[in-house]
Chain A
Amino acid sequence: NAGVTQTPKFQVLKTGQSMTLQCAQDMNHEYMSWYRQDPGMGLRLIHYSVGAGITDQGEVPNGYNVSRSTTEDFPLRLLSAAPSQTSVYFCASSSSGGQPSEQFFGPGTRLTVL
């Protein structure tokens, strides 16, 4: 099993550009989520999904869109990048959305917006 994979590992964007961060998992997990990590802030939840076709907002959703058309994939879209979105982005998955359970994290995407 590859676990949770994320692409790209690094990305530099100009203000106003759009892009999609890819996330895939091969563990047949129902629950997937996106976090961002900023210095001194820990990890903050952006969006999450409890299954294909179901998504919801987390703590910091503004400027990001998600969709979940399959169990395996959960892409994160930046519609118009801003310097405030410079961060490290982590995708995570877990086997149950109803009960607390361990989440498995991908290796992260480091995004810089100029």
Chain B
Amino acid sequence: DQQVKQNSPSLSVQEGRISILNCDYTNSMFDYFLWYKKYPAEGPTFLISISSIKDKNEDGRFTVFLNKSAKHLSLHIVPSQPGDSAVYFCAATSTGTASKLTFGTGTRLQVTL
């Protein structure tokens, strides 16, 4: 049973436009969410996170929104740049579970010129 779902395997966006990546979760115990970015042949790198006590967290061009009632979060990238082309993973965990991350299957973002 996939507890964290990223239903869009891929997304193509023009440079300068907004990229919106979505993530849904089913486990009500999850209270901390992270987004990781992964380039080919490299390990994932942390992008941004959000605690369940917030509904929005912003870091430069990246904003994560959390809708707890819908068990849904989204990552907004504005403006999108060609260097943002990568696979984005949503991950979730629960406080007190030793930071065990449950990952989604990833969304491949391509930013075109």
Q: Does A105 contact B (CB under 8 A)?
A: yes
Q: Which residues in A have their C-beta under 8 angstroms from that of B91?
A: 43
- A114 CA / B105 CA spacing, docked (Å): 25
User: Are B96 and A48 in contact, with the CB atoms below 8 A?
Assistant: no
Given contacts A97-B99, A98-B96, A100-B93, contact A42 B45 (CB under 8 A): no
Given contacts A90-B43, A90-B44, contact A103 B99 (CB under 8 A): yes
CB distance from B104 to the nearest CB of A (A): 5
Main secondary structure of the interface of B (DSSP, over half): loop
User: Are A4 and B98 in contact, with the CB atoms below 8 A?
Assistant: no
CB distance from A89 to the nearest CB of B (A): 10
Q: Which residues in B have their C-beta under 8 angstroms from that of A102?
A: 34, 46, 49
CB distance from B92 to the nearest CB of A (A): 9
Q: Does B103 contact A (CB under 8 A)?
A: yes
Q: Which residues in B have their C-beta under 8 angstroms from that of A40?
A: 105
User: Are B34 and A98 in contact, with the CB atoms below 8 A?
Assistant: no
Q: Does B42 contact A (CB under 8 A)?
A: yes
User: Are B43 and A105 in contact, with the CB atoms below 8 A?
Assistant: yes
Given contacts A42-B89, A43-B89, contact A103 B41 (CB under 8 A): no
- Give the total of B residues in contact with A, Cβ under 8 Å: 29
Q: Which residues in B have their C-beta under 8 angstroms from that of A4?
A: 43
Given contacts A41-B105, A42-B106, A102-B34, contact A108 B100 (CB under 8 A): no
CB distance from B21 to the nearest CB of A (A): 14
User: Are B105 and A50 in contact, with the CB atoms below 8 A?
Assistant: no
- Report the nearest A residue to B34, measured CB to CB: A102
Identify which of B99, B103, B106 contacts A101 (C-beta below 8 A).
Answer: B99
- A60 CA / B45 CA spacing, docked (Å): 22
Given contacts A48-B100, A94-B99, A97-B98, contact A104 B105 (CB under 8 A): no
Q: Does B95 contact A (CB under 8 A)?
A: yes
Between A and B, 7 residue pairs with Cβ closer than 8 Å are A35-B103, A48-B98, A99-B99, A102-B34, A103-B46, A103-B101, A107-B42
